[in-house]
Amino acid sequence: MDRLGLRAARVGEALLALGLAAMVVMVFGNVVLRYAFDSGITVSEEVSRFVFVWLTFGGAILVFAEGGHIAMDTLTARLSQRGQKLCALVSNAAVIGCCVLMLLGGWKQALINLGNVAPVSGISKGAIYGAAVVAAVCIGALAARNVWRLLRGASAADLAQHAQTD
């Protein structure tokens, strides 16, 4: 990754850590309030659920950027470098295709649910589907960058090594 990508990854990690900390505080605080004081903060349940959705999609973006998703390389490891490169091109093209579908579906759902609000917090339910839109754009851009690198001469091993060293 270049410096901009590295900074973006660090900002993403910091946001995920803040989101996780906020979610833990809200859920733990609500549990303590329920059992110790027979009360609770009703908004924390909805907000923590929204934060959890964003954490999941944000984590998927960061893991894709770092090349950390589970990979089955039993077949590709036995192929020639040309075959490995072709498999990497096909798999990244498939990722881009899935991201396009996720972007279109997430966008439609966000628009449909924009006017629907969560009953307690009043947050638009479109915000949940916004996480899918952001993830689709980010992961699609990262996969497009991989395709670009492969077409410019990088090998499949170069992509994996580049993602892991940064």
Instruction: Please say if the pLDDT value at position 165 is more than 60.
Output: no
Most confident listed range (5-14, 58-67, 153-162): 58-67
* Mean of per-residue pLDDT scores for the chain: 87
pLDDT reported for residue 18: 94
**What percent of the chain is modeled with pLDDT above 90?**
42
pLDDT band at 3 (very low <50, low <70, confident <90, very high): confident
pLDDT band at 1 (very low <50, low <70, confident <90, very high): low
pLDDT band at 98 (very low <50, low <70, confident <90, very high): very high
Q: How many residues does the chain have?
A: 166
SS (H, E, C) the chain: CCHHHHHHHHHHHHHHHHHHHHHHHHHHHHHHHHHHHCCCCHHHHHHHHHHHHHHHHHHHHHHHHCCCCCCCCCCHHHCCHHHHHHHHHHHHHHHHHHHHHHHHHHHHHHHHHCCCECCCCCCECHHHHHHHHHHHHHHHHHHHHHHHHHHCCCCHHHHHHHHHHC
Provide φ and ψ at 70, rounded to 5°.
Answer: -60, 135
Segment 80-85 shows an average pLDDT of: 86
Token couple for 82: 């040309």
pLDDT reported for residue 59: 93
At a CB cut-off of 8 Å and minimum separation 6, what does 41 contact?
Answer: 26, 29, 30, 33
Instruction: Please say if the pLDDT value at position 68 is more than 80.
Output: no
pLDDT band at 162 (very low <50, low <70, confident <90, very high): low
Instruction: Please say if the pLDDT value at position 117 is more than 80.
Output: yes
Segment 34-56 shows an average pLDDT of: 88
